[in-house]
A and B are shown apart, each in its own frame.
Chain A
């Protein structure tokens, strides 16, 4: 059968609106379905935001991951500067700072209150030091450890001191959480497919008489399927909207306390919000899963309903 594109488009538009009307006719059960889909969609998005904010927070503590590299005594200042220069070039390093022995001594005298104890010393006992700031936001825990080993391998180095262990743990945990979020996203996406597929299946069987009549009159499966696909897409879109609302509400609730907490630590940390990207992704995912879920259900069940 050949149909002009205009007729095809207007037919789609009609079913699109028609399917919305049908959902509107059963407001309670439609709302329940959409709410369940909304919760299922909100969970992965919420977890994702949690991880994003967690890593942001981790990134703010980057001064705490500085690696102090103490050079062998007798290493000249030029050698120190050269070494610092080569390290600064490394991809896994964000910043390098040289603290000369003299400077270290001055700082120590000023800061420690033991200035007098050093008066008797003829030579400066402190070595030249290079402070290296790894690019933690880009590095895995393994890579930070690798960087440490690389720094220690330089012949001028006496001792590498870093309290990167907690950072390593932190990022290891973040990695695990990220994987769990991915898994949860897949599982919940599947759940949305099943919920919508099941809703559409019930919808199909509740209209079985209508479907059989349409088949008797010569309707193709594709023609009968179309309104169900739109219903599915509406369910998914509605669910995504509810999920967006839930997450926005959550963010509003959390924003105040977190900002206050960050203020206590002298940090200007702000909770990362949804953003247009995530919101759009959720709407697309909701609509897409709805379409797909209803397509699978419709393809299976409409085929089975034959007039007799």
Chain B
């Protein structure tokens, strides 16, 4: 589902954030990205979402070479992904319902269908009763669940998350990770960047450790 072929990324004026990265994530797989700060986790996710472009090499997502996706086609490309961010990235002046409905409205769905799908997504993250609330009236963990509902509401084939539990206490963190596991169980390919080794170590999924823009082979493997 996601393939990195010899990918390098150098930011303007910076050192290489990724150097010769080779990676393969199968359809329906769930993997964790870990590694020290500055190892290139965020960069790797940004290349998947076309927030950044590789300096060298090729990234395939859902059989599409991202190098071939022109600027005008990026919105359409992103709509097949769901993205979750550490800082939630919710619209603070819209209700929970409006936030979650945004991807569907962009997709051009009718009102009834939007309502049905938004409520289904909110139900999955356990926030059905909060649909009329403003994001800032929610706890951090609830806000993150709104972000997840928004990411999955249009049934993406790939879900990527950059430190989705970065600001949460251990209990909330494991709740959030369990949500990702549930989406993975129904066939969504999931890639999560996380520092929280003690949490992800217990989940039985592949953990990819990055170091200085490369895969750190010593720390890789499937913890079962």
9-residue interface stretch from A7-15, A277-285, A292-300: A7-15
CA gap between A220 and B108 in the complex, in Å: 12
Query: Is A217's CB under 8 angstroms from B110's CB?
Result: no
Query: Is B51's CB under 8 angstroms from A220's CB?
Result: no
Query: Is A7's CB under 8 angstroms from B75's CB?
Result: no
Q: How far is the CB of B130 from chain A (nearest CB, A)?
A: 19
Query: Is B108's CB under 8 angstroms from A1's CB?
Result: yes
9-residue interface stretch from B76-84, B116-124, B189-197, B206-214: B76-84
CA gap between A194 and B75 in the complex, in Å: 30
Query: Is B51's CB under 8 angstroms from A10's CB?
Result: no
CA gap between A161 and B85 in the complex, in Å: 90
Q: Is A273 an interface residue (CB 8 A)?
A: no
Contact of B75 among A8, A10, A215, A308 (CB under 8 A): A215
Chain A residues 264 to 308 lying within 8 A of chain B, measured CB to CB, are 306-308
Q: Is B138 an interface residue (CB 8 A)?
A: no
Residues of A contacting B103 with CB < 8 Å?
Answer: 217-218
Chain A count of residues within 8 A CB distance of the other chain = 23
Residues of A contacting B78 with CB < 8 Å?
Answer: 215-218
Query: Is B106's CB under 8 angstroms from A216's CB?
Result: no
Q: How far is the CB of A217 from chain B (nearest CB, A)?
A: 5
Q: Is B89 an interface residue (CB 8 A)?
A: yes
Query: Is A307's CB under 8 angstroms from B106's CB?
Result: no
Residues of A contacting B77 with CB < 8 Å?
Answer: 218
Interface residues on B, range: 20 to 34
CA gap between A231 and B61 in the complex, in Å: 38
Nearest B residue to A303 via CB reads B71
Q: Is A102 an interface residue (CB 8 A)?
A: no
CA gap between A308 and B12 in the complex, in Å: 13
Q: Is A214 an interface residue (CB 8 A)?
A: yes
Q: Is A213 an interface residue (CB 8 A)?
A: yes
Query: Is B106's CB under 8 angstroms from A217's CB?
Result: yes
Residues of B contacting A4 with CB < 8 Å?
Answer: 108, 110
Query: Is A219's CB under 8 angstroms from B51's CB?
Result: no
When each residue 40-68 of chain B gets 1 if its CB lies under 8 Å from chain A and 0 otherwise, what string results? Answer: 00000000010110000000000000000
Q: How far is the CB of B149 from chain A (nearest CB, A)?
A: 12
Chain B residues 89 to 129 lying within 8 A of chain A, measured CB to CB, are 89-91, 102-103, 105-111
Nearest B residue to A2 via CB reads B108
Given A213-B91, A307-B51, verify A219-B106 contact (CB < 8 Å): yes
Residues of B contacting A220 with CB < 8 Å?
Answer: 75-76, 106
Residues of B contacting A213 with CB < 8 Å?
Answer: 89-91
Query: Is B109's CB under 8 angstroms from A218's CB?
Result: no
Nearest B residue to A216 via CB reads B83
Residues of B contacting A154 with CB < 8 Å?
Answer: none
CA gap between A216 and B78 in the complex, in Å: 7
Query: Is A214's CB under 8 angstroms from B108's CB?
Result: no
Query: Is B91's CB under 8 angstroms from A7's CB?
Result: no
Q: Is B9 an interface residue (CB 8 A)?
A: no
Chain A residues 6 to 26 lying within 8 A of chain B, measured CB to CB, are 6-8, 10-11
Given A213-B89, A216-B51, verify A11-B75 contact (CB < 8 Å): no
Nearest A residue to B93 via CB reads A210
Nearest B residue to A308 via CB reads B51
CA gap between A216 and B103 in the complex, in Å: 10
Residues of A contacting B145 with CB < 8 Å?
Answer: none
Q: Is A166 an interface residue (CB 8 A)?
A: no
Q: Is A223 an interface residue (CB 8 A)?
A: yes
Residues of A contacting B83 with CB < 8 Å?
Answer: 216-217
CA gap between A212 and B19 in the complex, in Å: 28
Given A1-B76, A308-B51, verify A217-B109 contact (CB < 8 Å): no
List, sorted by A's number, 22 A–B pairs whose CB atoms are closer than 8 Å: A1-B107, A2-B108, A4-B108, A6-B110, A8-B108, A10-B111, A11-B105, A213-B91, A214-B106, A215-B75, A216-B78, A216-B85, A216-B89, A217-B78, A217-B103, A218-B77, A219-B75, A219-B102, A220-B106, A223-B75, A306-B51, A308-B52
B-contacting residues of A (Cβ < 8 Å)? 1-4, 6-8, 10-11, 210, 213-221, 223, 306-308
